[in-house]
Structure 1
Amino acid sequence: MTHDLLGRHRAVLPDWLALYYEEPIEITHGEGRHVWDAEGNRYLDFFGGILTTMTAHALPEVTKAVSEQAGRIIHSSTLYLNRPMVELAERIAQLSGIPDARVFFTTSGTEANDTALLLATTYRRSNTVLAMRNSYHGRSFSSVGITGNRGWSPTSLSPLQTLYVHGGVRTRGPYAALSDGDFIAACVDDLVDLLGHTRPPAALIAEPIQGVGGFTSPPDGLYAAFREVLHERGILWIADEVQTGWGRTGEHFWGWQAHGRHGPPDIVTFAKGIGNGMSIGGVVARSEIMNCLDSNSISTFGGTQITMAAGLANLNYLLEHDLQGNARRVGGLLIERLRAAAAHVPAVREVRGRGLMIGIEITRPGTDEADPATAAAVLEAARAGGLLIGKGGGHNTSSLRIAPPLSLNVAEAEEGAAILEDALRSIP
């Protein structure tokens, strides 16, 4: 059955549409932190559909909200008043920390970042954008143009002039050997020098923790230091919270808060987890930035009633059950367990992350050279053991990505860690 579906997939879908595993699986249903494939195999899910199933599979509160809304009306577009959209926008505006915030809903993180770029370049009258090396911001023409990860940049053509800044990866690059304070100072000096050689940019866009890049991050405070330089020049700060938002890092509700010494960003983009699988993305910005467009616009599918109902139910569950606190507690246990397991595996260069956002970097033993074949082998071994994880990386690295639903419990964390330890120890 699965083999037949794979043949049909290959016959009608693009060759560049990636599939995990030598024998790809069809996931048919899920519950809690587990999913099942078409062959009846049960897996502990440590990737959540790329950090999108944020609370749990088949969460009753979300499925009930979706079902009830579907029985009333599914969609009407933004041309009509939409109560669930207004209610979710009110909640997100308050949670964002941005004063006098306005919220615009999209259908994906890519579209959210597109919108943020449109706002910033229009507001600043500049098409120059600062972005981080090793970054990923989506698959559209404009978001590919600011993505600093060669493996996810199929074209160098872009409507934007993009300048890439140091700092998104702490343990690689020319400043890796410095202390955290000196690392930040060197990156700030580099930014200042770069700005002296170009016309004023519209904005800096940055992921607080780089997702597709392998869950890499700078020392806390880097973007606060960048913000001082940017603010002096009127340059906006866009925080791409598509993967880091909603409490996943445990320590903070938003990833930018690890760098928030001078307050919130000018623009925040979000997506993935808020819908728990429904297609929701969006942008939060100060009113003068959001309202800078001087022509009409709508969104046919952004903010549609059924996705907003799911987002409201999911956000309520997340806050009422303190899933951010759970990510901090269970994530802390999980990362220490994985570090202990990896300590005796020469191919593991680093175990990093915070909360339930953990990366394991695989290299050839004794070197910094990427080993994608071994990373793929660990992915396969984990799947054979009943665990689904992700992979990614930049800077010529190969990293395993671990991001379970935020309701993960201690027993499941221990189970997943044990499977992953066996998979790592299976490396020849």
Structure 2
Amino acid sequence: MTRDLFARHRAVLPDWLALYYEDPLEITHGEGRHVWDTAGNKYLDFFGGILTTMTAHALPEVTKAVAEQAGRIIHSSTLYLNRPMVELAERVAQLSGIPDARVFFTTSGTEANDTALLLATAHRRSNTILAMRNSYHGRSFSSVGITGNRGWSPTSLSPLQTLYVHGGVRTRGPYAHLDDRDFIDACVADLEDLLGHTRAPAALIAEPVQGVGGFTSPPDGLYAAFREVLHERGILWIADEVQTGWGRTGEHFWGWQAHGRSGPPDIVTFAKGIGNGMSVGGVIARAEIMNCLDANSISTFGGTQVTMAAGLANLNHLLEHDLQGNARRVGGLLIERLRAVAAQVPHVREVRGRGLMIGVELTRPGTDEAAPEAASAVLEEARSGGLLVGKGGGHSTSVLRIAPPMSLTVAEAEEGAAILERALRSI
């Protein structure tokens, strides 16, 4: 049955639409931190639909909210007042830390970043954007144009002039040998030098932790230091929180807060986990920035009632059950467990991450050369053992990406780590 579906998939869908596994997997249902396939096999899910299933599969509060809202009205567009959208916007604005915040809802992180770029370039009257090397911001024409990860940027054509800045990857590149303080100083000096050779950019867009890039991040404080340089020149700071938001990193509710001594970003984008699988994205910005557009605009499907009901229920559950604290506690245990395993596996270059956002980078033993074939082998072996993980990385897809639902238990973390240990040892 799965092979037949795979053949049909290949017959009607694009070749570049990636599928995991040599024998692709069809997931039929899920509950908690587990999913099942068509053959009835049960898997512990350590990737959550690319970080979208933030709280749990089939979370009763979310499924109930969706069903009840769908029974009333599913959609009306932004041309009409929408109570669930207003209620979720109020919560998000209050949680953002941005003064006089306004919220615009979209259907995805790509669309959220697209909107942030529109706002920044219109507000600043500049089409120059600063972005981080190894970054990923979506698959639209504009967001591909600011993506610093070659594997996810299929064209160099862009409506924007993009300049790439050092700092997103701590353990590779020309500054990797420096200590944290000197690393930050070198990246700031590079930024200042870059700004001396270009017209004033509209904004810097940066992921606090680079998701598709392999869960890499700079030392805490880098973006605060960048912000001071940018603020002097009136350049905006856009924090792409599509993967890091809502407490995923454990230590902070937003990833930018690890760099927050100079205050919140001018613009924050979000998506993925807030809808727990429903299509919700959005942009938060100060009123003067959000309201700078001088033409009409709507969002046909952004903020539709049924997705807003899901977002509200999911956010309430996350806050009431302190899933941020759980991500910090269980994620910390999982990272240490995986580091102990990695010390005995020559292919593992580094285990890194925060909270329940963990990367395991694989290289050819004794070198810094990426080993994508090893990552693929581990992915397959983990699946055979009943565990689903993801892949990523800027130096080819050689990083295992681990991001389970934030309600993960200690027992499930131990179970997943044991399966992953066997898979890593198998290579």
Q: What range describes the TM-score normalised by the shorter chain of this pair?
A: over 0.9
1:56 aligns with 2:77: no
Runs (4 or more) in structure 1 with deviation over 4 Å come to none
1:338 aligns with 2:355: no
Distance in 1 (CA, whole Å) between partners of 2:402 and 2:25 is 19
| Offset, 1:396 | 4.4
Which AA in structure 2 matches 1:213?
Answer: G
Superposed CA RMSD:
0.5
1:27 aligns with 2:27: yes
Aligned to 1:151: 151
Of 128-137 and 390-399, more deviation after overlay is shown by 390-399
Aligned to 1:356: 356
Which AA in structure 2 matches 1:356?
Answer: L
Provide structure 2 residue ranges, at least 5 long, that are not aligned to the other structure: none
Output aligned runs, 1:219-234, within 5 Å: 219-234=219-234
Q: Is the 8 A contact 2:391 2:397 kept in 1?
A: no
Aligned to 1:208: 208
TM-score by length of 2: 1.00
Which AA in structure 1 matches 2:281?
Answer: G
| Offset, 1:395 | 3.3
Distance in 2 (CA, whole Å) between partners of 1:129 and 1:366 is 38
| Offset, 1:397 | 6.0
Aligned to 1:9: 9
Aligned to 1:103: 103
Aligned to 2:179: 179
Identity %: 89
Output aligned runs, 1:288-299, within 5 Å: 288-299=288-299
Distance in 1 (CA, whole Å) between partners of 2:121 and 2:155 is 21
Distance in 1 (CA, whole Å) between partners of 2:153 and 2:302 is 26
1:238 aligns with 2:252: no
| SS of equivalent residue, structure 1 residue 261 | helix
| Offset, 1:398 | 1.1
Output aligned runs, 1:298-337, within 5 Å: 298-337=298-337
Which AA in structure 1 matches 2:415?
Answer: E
Q: Is the 8 A contact 2:353 2:359 kept in 1?
A: yes
Aligned to 1:86: 86
Task: Give per-residue Cα distances to partners, 1:379-424, cap 9 Å, x unaligned.
Answer: 0000000000000000346100000000000000000000000000
Q: Is the 8 A contact 1:369 1:397 kept in 2?
A: no
| SS of equivalent residue, structure 2 residue 262 | coil
Aligned to 2:128: 128
| SS of equivalent residue, structure 2 residue 72 | coil
Aligned to 2:277: 277
Which AA in structure 2 matches 1:200?
Answer: A
Distance in 1 (CA, whole Å) between partners of 2:397 and 2:275 is 31
Q: Is the 8 A contact 2:375 2:397 kept in 1?
A: no
Q: Is the 8 A contact 1:170 1:219 kept in 2?
A: yes
Aligned to 2:251: 251
Aligned to 1:40: 40
Of 374-383 and 388-397, more deviation after overlay is shown by 388-397
Distance in 2 (CA, whole Å) between partners of 1:397 and 1:321 is 34
Q: Is the 8 A contact 1:361 1:397 kept in 2?
A: no
Distance in 2 (CA, whole Å) between partners of 1:398 and 1:36 is 26
| Offset, 1:224 | 0.1
Distance in 2 (CA, whole Å) between partners of 1:33 and 1:245 is 19
Task: Give per-residue Cα distances to partners, 1:346-392, cap 9 Å, x unaligned.
Answer: 00000000100000000000000011101100000000000000000
Provide structure 1 residue ranges, at least 5 long, that are not aligned to the other structure: none
Q: Is the 8 A contact 1:134 1:213 kept in 2?
A: yes
Distance in 2 (CA, whole Å) between partners of 1:146 and 1:339 is 33
Distance in 1 (CA, whole Å) between partners of 2:395 and 2:128 is 23
Q: Is the 8 A contact 1:369 1:396 kept in 2?
A: no
Distance in 2 (CA, whole Å) between partners of 1:143 and 1:99 is 26
Which AA in structure 1 matches 2:19?
Answer: L
Task: Give per-residue Cα distances to partners, 1:80-130, cap 9 Å, x unaligned.
Answer: 000000000000000000000000000000000000000000000000000
Aligned to 1:378: 378
1:113 aligns with 2:113: yes
